């Protein structure tokens, strides 16, 4: 095990150098399988343990009774024993079987399906070995105040980086931004590479959160507004496509009950969304000029980002895009929902079916579940939905990187280049 850990340490150093990551970045950021940003790298210690446990099971679970009863033990040194790891995995699997399927987050009972019956006992034990290693990594990451901040993200969709993205895109900014290891003034002071941790624009503590979403001078210059409009422009294009493909019929198929143990008939699912039933949808966006809410629906001085309405259905849908710090996404959703609650009630009082759909996109490119749900309500599903989320994510990441690069430069001379 000592030899394997030394090899893993050497691999981690070279991975950091290849990806141009900061030295303080923990290796857990590269190998975690449940991280908010999952990278396609495998942990050498974990793979070694799985391989040795698999070899041990080949002897212990052999169909030949003589081989199974020989108590063959695979030699692994003094620090770690495959026999002890296998016993621990069996106890974990037994406990997991007794607990059953556990609901996560705000999902209701039965949302997460139970494990497949086709999974063999060997595969289940190997999965428990991997789960044990991942729990150790998560426990260490939770103890890190700065690099482990992603463990506090609520209602944020995780991202999985593939090899193709690593080869064709520079993801060093994204990784360093997620784990807060960019050379911000606060980090440079912490690393003893600068004398002052203050922001060059406003004079306050220049943390990464301050640079990307909390600097009052950057807000006054319009830097955050530019980023918001860039993301909003992509959302408007996506909604325009959804409106053009909306069907004029609003017929919804009746619910078909299925007996236990049988499969539902083909064609059971139906494509129904909030845009179905009309083709006269109007769209207003707060981009080139200030959005004025349609006066025949309700009167308000509130400024929405997007308003979709249909005179035929007497239905209005309000979108509010927000770009908060990822840890504050849930708070931003509740705040926007409460802000437009009175306007929704006013529209309903005038005989309109009104709804408000706040959608959050994190400052580092992580979308919230609220935005994902809003796109589903518009009729996007499957590949179209994934492409839309990818477009919004790339735009948010690009604008965040541009704000970071121009954090010490005059904004009026550089904002046009960022577009």
Domain boundaries, the chain: 2-152, 159-221, 225-418
Q: Dihedral through CA 97, CA 98, CA 99, CA 100, nearest 10?
A: 50
Q: State mean pLDDT over 19-27.
A: 92
Question: Is the per-residue pLDDT at 364 higher than 90?
Answer: yes
Half-sphere exposure of 243 (CA within 13 A, CB side): 17
Percent of the chain as helix, strand, coil, to the nearest 5: 50, 10, 45
Q: How confident is the model at residue 414 (pLDDT cuts 50, 70, 90)?
A: very low
Instruction: Identify the pLDDT of residue 112.
Output: 62
Q: How confident is the model at residue 180 (pLDDT cuts 50, 70, 90)?
A: very high
Q: Select the more confidently predicted residue: 99 or 332.
A: 332
Q: State mean pLDDT over 60-75.
A: 82
User: Tens digit of pLDDT for each residue in 305-318?
Assistant: 999 999 988 999 99
Q: How many residues does the chain have?
A: 419
Q: Select the more confidently predicted residue: 270 or 394.
A: 394
H or E element: which one contains 236?
helix 223-244
**Of the ranges 3-17, 71-85, 91-105, 282-296, which is most confident?**
3-17
H or E element: which one contains 186?
helix 185-190
In angstroms, the CA 131 to CA 138 distance is 10
Q: How confident is the model at residue 419 (pLDDT cuts 50, 70, 90)?
A: very low
Instruction: Identify the pLDDT of residue 418.
Output: 47
Q: State mean pLDDT over 177-182.
A: 94
- Give the pairing of strands 306-310 and 37-38: unpaired
Question: Is the per-residue pLDDT at 415 higher than 70?
Answer: no
Q: Select the more confidently predicted residue: 115 or 59.
A: 59
Q: Which residue has the tokens 């179905």?
A: 276
In angstroms, the CA 324 to CA 346 distance is 28
Q: State mean pLDDT over 215-221.
A: 93
Q: Which residue has the tokens 């069907």?
A: 247
Q: Is 367 helix (H, G, I), strand (E, B) or coil?
A: strand
Least Cα distance to 57 among 133, 124, 6 occurs for: 124
Decide: 317 and 309 in contact? Cβ < 8 Å.
yes
Q: How confident is the model at residue 352 (pLDDT cuts 50, 70, 90)?
A: very high
Decide: 294 and 354 in contact? Cβ < 8 Å.
no
Strand ordering across the sheet containing 282-285 = 282-285, 306-310, 315-322, 353-360
What value does the mean pLDDT of the chain take?
87
In angstroms, the CA 387 to CA 86 distance is 42
Q: State mean pLDDT over 112-125.
A: 68
Q: Which residues pair with 284 in a beta bridge?
A: 307
Instruction: Identify the pLDDT of residue 97.
Output: 82
Q: How confident is the model at residue 232 (pLDDT cuts 50, 70, 90)?
A: very high
Question: Is the per-residue pLDDT at 211 higher than 70?
Answer: yes
Tokens at 211, concatenated = 């640079």
In angstroms, the CA 390 to CA 392 distance is 6
Least Cα distance to 336 among 357, 353, 316, 362 occurs for: 357
Q: State mean pLDDT over 101-114.
A: 65
């Amino acid at each position: 095990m000592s030899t394997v850990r030394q090899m893993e340490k050497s691999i981690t150093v070279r991975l950091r150098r290849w990806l141009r990551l900061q030295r303080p970045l923990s290796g857990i950021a590269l190998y975690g399988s449940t991280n908010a940003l999952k990278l396609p790298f495998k942990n050498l210690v974990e793979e070694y343990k799985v391989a040795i446990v698999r070899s041990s099971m080949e002897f212990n679970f052999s169909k030949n009774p003589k081989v199974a009863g020989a108590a063959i033990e695979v030699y692994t040194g003094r620090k770690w024993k495959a026999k002890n790891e296998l016993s621990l995995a069996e106890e974990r699997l037994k406990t997991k079987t007794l607990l059953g399927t556990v609901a996560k987050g705000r999902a209701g009972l039965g949302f997460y399906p139970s494990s497949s019956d086709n999974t063999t006992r060997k595969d289940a034990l190997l999965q428990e070995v991997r789960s044990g290693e991942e729990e150790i990594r998560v426990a260490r990451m939770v103890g890190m105040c700065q690099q482990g901040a992603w463990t506090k993200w609520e209602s944020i969709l995780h991202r999985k980086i593939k090899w193709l993205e690593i080869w064709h895109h520079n993801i060093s900014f994204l990784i360093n931004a997620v784990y807060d290891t960019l050379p911000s003034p606060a980090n440079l002071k912490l690393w003893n590479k600068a004398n002052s941790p203050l922001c060059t624009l406003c004079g306050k503590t220049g943390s990464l959160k301050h640079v990307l979403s909390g600097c009052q001078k950057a807000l006054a210059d319009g830097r955050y507004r530019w980023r918001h409009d860039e993301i909003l422009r992509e959302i408007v294009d996506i909604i325009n496509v959804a409106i053009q493909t909306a069907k004029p019929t609003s017929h919804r198929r009746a619910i078909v009950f299925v007996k236990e143990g049988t499969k539902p008939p083909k064609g059971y699912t139906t494509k129904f969304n909030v845009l179905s039933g009309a083709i006269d949808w109007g769209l207003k966006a707060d981009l080139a000029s200030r959005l004025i809410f349609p006066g025949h629906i309700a009167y308000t001085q509130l400024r929405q980002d997007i308003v979709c309405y249909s005179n035929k259905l007497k239905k209005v849908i309000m979108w509010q895009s927000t770009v908060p710090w990822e840890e504050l996404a849930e708070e931003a959703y509740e705040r926007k929902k409460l802000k437009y609650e009175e306007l929704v009630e006013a529209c309903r009082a005038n005989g309109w079916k009104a709804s408000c759909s706040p959608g959050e996109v994190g400052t580092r490119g992580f979308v919230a579940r609220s935005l994902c749900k809003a796109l589903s309500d518009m009729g996007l599903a499957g590949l179209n939905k994934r492409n839309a989320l990818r477009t919004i994510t790339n735009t948010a990441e690009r604008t965040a990187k541009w704000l970071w690069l121009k954090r010490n430069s005059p904004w009026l001379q550089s904002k046009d280049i960022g577009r």
